[in-house]
Chain A
Amino acid sequence: MPTVSMTVNGQAVSGEVEDRTLLVQFLRENLRLTGTHVGCDTSQCGACVVHVNGDSMKSCSMLALQAEGAEVTTIEGLASNGELNPMQQAFMDNHGLQCGFCTPGMVMSAMDLVAKNPNPDEATIRENLEGNLCRCTGYHNIVKAVQQAAKTMGG
């Protein structure tokens, strides 16, 4: 089996994978970083979103081998010393999560959104989170959370 190497949450990692192994499988199975979730098999739900070289990416839509040499950040890589980052804090403050299954992907997508658009209005937030399904929250509080995070993150 081929070997793949990349940097995940600041640490150099490598592992053996099949050609068909998806990045999300590598993260979950090889590295046991189970914060990244799998909610579908058609790249439609966004539960698996991580950052690859600074951009949000559905990690089920990419082979592990394609991430050779990449800088990958997962939900586990956002906090420092166990402290929630401003986006995570905003989700907590605004009750932007219920069952928490969509949440890692939602937070990673929202981080990317705010990084690229520091001052998004409601319509922009909704449009940009269109690739992340949530069955619990009805999105209302997720939108509020992203608005708060955009403010605290200096938008």
Chain B
Amino acid sequence: MAENGIGASLKRKEDPRLLLGKGSYVDDINRPGQAYAAFVRSPHAHANIKSINSTAAAAAPGVVAIFTGDDMAADEVGPLICGWAISSKDGSPMNMPHHTCLAQGKVTYVGDHVAIVIADTQEQAKDAAELVEVDYEELSAVVGTADADAAGAPQLHENAPNNTCFDWHLADNKADVDAAFAGAAHVTKLDILNNRLVPNAMEPRAAVGDYERSTDSLTLYTTSQNPHVARLVLSAFFGIAPEHKLRVVAPDVGGGFGSKIYVYSEETACLWAARKIDRAVKWTADRAESFVSDAHGRDHVTTVELALDGDAKFLAMRCSTKANLGGYMSLFSSAVPTYMYATLLAGQYTTPQIYAEVKTVFTNTTPVDAYRGAGRPEATYALERVVEAAARELNIDPAELRRRNLIQPDQFPYETPVVHTYDCGDYGASLDKAIEIADYAGFAARRDQSKAGGKLRGIGFSNYIEACGIAPSAAVGALGGGVGLWEAAQVRFNPTGNVTVFTGTHAHGQGHETAFAQVVADQLGVPVENVEVVHGDTDKGPFGMGTYGSRSIAVGGSAIVKAGEKIIAKGRKIAAHLLEAAEDDIEFTDGNFTVAGTDKALNIGEVAFAAYVPHNYPEGVEPGLDESAFYDPLNFSFPSGTHICEVEVDPDTGTVEIVNYTAVDDFGTLINPMIVAGQVHGGIVQGVGQALTEGAAYDPDSGQLVNGSFMDYTMPRADNVPSFNIDTTETPSPLNPLGVKGCGEAGAIAAPAAVMNAITDALGTENIDMPATPEKVWRAAQAAG
């Protein structure tokens, strides 16, 4: 291993600039002469727009322009689309509503975009936006997932009868699964809610659209997890500018968690308007705007059933879910509750038969799309809750019930009944290690101790699996996805021997500038400080698909390795020539090309110099040492692990304290264990937030988001959570050159089930939903006596 190569907890290269206040986030960027945008948003959950009068607003100080949906339509700006086609059980295609950037005739949620007001200063734009008079005809609203498709519910979209987008199942195997249930010794059934979450990256979304008339080219500085995809969408679907005339820059981005995958109305309108007024247009969301306009996550209502035989082996599972899409479809919102969800319902177990059906509904709420974990937390929650409940009903230790049903290490590759073929794993090893670290054996004594103090102690497991490294393009296409999900990289030796690496992924907290440099240092034998990783600018480096779904190291890292292999292959030719040896006799280790069995060697830096100053150079070899690679993964990767949460509940106040949280994860090879641990910590706290404190609350009558601020939407704070005990096991993935699996979402996937299993254990009832607020816990504790 090179010093500071793969496996080293190298301190991050990105930290000094961020710690010195020298990061460059979108709101830090200012273009000469820029104007500022503010949006007129719907105050109603559901309304027809009868008229828009902007006379007073247009006359307000500093106002440059006001545009509505009609103006964008006149310019033929295309609608916002969903990029993943799903068909219903009967074969009919999903009902995708027409969704314009700025509303035309109708709004479907509070915060929906009605007009863009542009002025010389931000204050002037905001002041003028308040002067735009919109005459609304209010309509009754529906916000709840369960009743959205009920007879008589207000209808959102003409082409979506009963507010239904699609009614899908994974496979037509219900009769077989029903038969397995009929013959089961025991059936456990749970009705559960997966609460709606607001992603709340700490940096609000922002955009600066810039136009250069002399070249008729546009630049968008934006808070994006995938600038190349944003450019593609802005060009191909919205028609704002052709790709070669559009540059998208996503500089330092302050967290994403899925919410910055999508191209939203605001960014699109700012870019379009920049050309209209021939002036840069800047917009930065207020937090209040973020709450109503960033795509939300989760929001499922599910009935899950598990059938077991007399030995408590899982026979079959049935899972029926209704998922809330919000007011319109979002970029991947059809895939999240289907192929990102139902395909994970086998979990770590050998359950031979699974039937999963999902109905998606429109409601007068903010659109829902991928949020950290995206479908996989919902699947893990349904599965791990019902497994834990089954253990309790059968009076079997929950760890033992899991162990009895785990896929064994010698069964890989393992084909589940729900599409996926798992690469590798040793689920028992993670479970055993977690049990030891959590001192599960000592739990009974701790429970007694708590009881003596008037407290209820509970412990809960969550054995999760996730599908990461998304994804093989052909598989994505076969399942309805509209894109390929490969990744690209370019490894460029500069003449003086240092290296610039371009990646199509994007980091917004994940530390790619460090981890990817470690990969290159390790492979090419260059000191890590001589490797610079560049991302986030469509004018620099190859097209790439971006960062989400814990894909960056597995797919993006593999692309870098493939480019590095080309560097070595070319370097070998050059070295053979310079060392006057046969190419086959050249060995490459630790950055040196050596003639086998001799001490004749050239460092890769010397070879790079020769490639750029090719005076003495092999015939037929191109100058330069600069290689690109596109990597399409062979399969998803499947990180897994066991999380164990121990809580103490005060039955008198309903407060829940997490007294111990253990996570043992298998992410395959670790590139930088320090960064990996950080990803786990952050994921766990987002999962704890879902379980204990977070949940978007809509007023059922008015459709207002009643907790749309940090005062009301309670994200975990430092004093709400403990420190964690985390560890890893390691079964390297055989399917990518690094053996990595991805680590970004594990915590958010595993934690909700672990926390809720602990709380339900403490309370002695399954009858409590997330978020388990003190009020709900207190009520459940009282009801359980």
A interface with B by C-beta (< 8 Å)? 18, 20, 28, 32-42, 44-45, 47, 74-76, 78-79, 82, 84, 88, 91-93, 95, 97-104, 107, 122-123, 125-127, 129-143
Measured CA separation A122–B721 after assembly (Å)? 11
**Looking at chain B, what size class is its interface with the partner chain?**
35 or more
Contact B202 A35 (CB under 8 A): no
Q: Taking A41-B709, A97-B19, A137-B681 as given, write out 6 further A-B residue pairs in contact, using a Cβ cutoff of 8 Å, ordered by the A residue number.
A: A36-B21, A41-B287, A99-B202, A99-B203, A135-B255, A136-B682
Contact A138 B747 (CB under 8 A): yes
A-B contact pairs, 8 of them (CB 8 A): A37-B27, A76-B22, A88-B19, A104-B21, A135-B257, A138-B684, A138-B721, A139-B717
Contact with A along B481-522 (1 / 0, CB 8 A): 000000000000000000000000000111100000000000
Measured CA separation A9–B334 after assembly (Å)? 51
Residue of B nearest to A18 (CB): B123
- Closest CB pairs A-B (n = 10): A35-B21, A101-B254, A100-B18, A99-B509, A98-B509, A138-B681, A44-B710, A138-B685, A75-B21, A34-B28
Known: A35-B23, A99-B203, A126-B719. A44 touches B709 (CB 8 A): yes
CB distance from A139 to the nearest CB of B (A): 4
Please indicate the chain B residues that have their CB under 8 angstroms from the CB of A137 in the complex: 678, 681-682
Residue B200 interfacial (CB < 8 Å): yes
Residue of B nearest to A142 (CB): B718
CB distance from B57 to the nearest CB of A (A): 19
Contact B12 A95 (CB under 8 A): yes
Residue B11 interfacial (CB < 8 Å): yes
Measured CA separation A23–B247 after assembly (Å)? 34
Interface SS, B side: loop
CB distance from B2 to the nearest CB of A (A): 21
Measured CA separation A18–B126 after assembly (Å)? 15
Residue B15 interfacial (CB < 8 Å): yes
B201, B709, B718, B747: the one contacting A42 at CB < 8 Å is B709
Measured CA separation A122–B722 after assembly (Å)? 9
Known: A39-B204, A138-B685, A138-B747. A76 touches B25 (CB 8 A): no
CB distance from B27 to the nearest CB of A (A): 7
Measured CA separation A40–B286 after assembly (Å)? 7
Please indicate the chain A residues that have their CB under 8 angstroms from the CB of B123 in the complex: 18, 20
Measured CA separation A95–B12 after assembly (Å)? 8
Contact A101 B723 (CB under 8 A): no
Contact A101 B21 (CB under 8 A): no
Residue of B nearest to A89 (CB): B19
Contact B718 A129 (CB under 8 A): yes
Please indicate the chain B residues that have their CB under 8 angstroms from the CB of A132 in the complex: 717-718
A38, A100, A136, A143: the one contacting B252 at CB < 8 Å is A100
Please indicate the chain B residues that have their CB under 8 angstroms from the CB of A33 in the complex: 21
Contact A141 B678 (CB under 8 A): yes
Contact A107 B253 (CB under 8 A): no
Measured CA separation A120–B55 after assembly (Å)? 59
B22, B200, B675, B719: the one contacting A95 at CB < 8 Å is B675
CB distance from B601 to the nearest CB of A (A): 36
Residue B715 interfacial (CB < 8 Å): yes
Please indicate the chain A residues that have their CB under 8 angstroms from the CB of B716 in the complex: 138-139
Contact A45 B678 (CB under 8 A): no
Most B-side CB within 10 Å, residue of A18, A28, A98, A123: A98
Known: A41-B288, A100-B14, A138-B724. A47 touches B19 (CB 8 A): no
Residue of A nearest to B674 (CB): A95
A42, A76, A97: the one contacting B18 at CB < 8 Å is A97
Residue B683 interfacial (CB < 8 Å): yes
Residue of B nearest to A35 (CB): B21
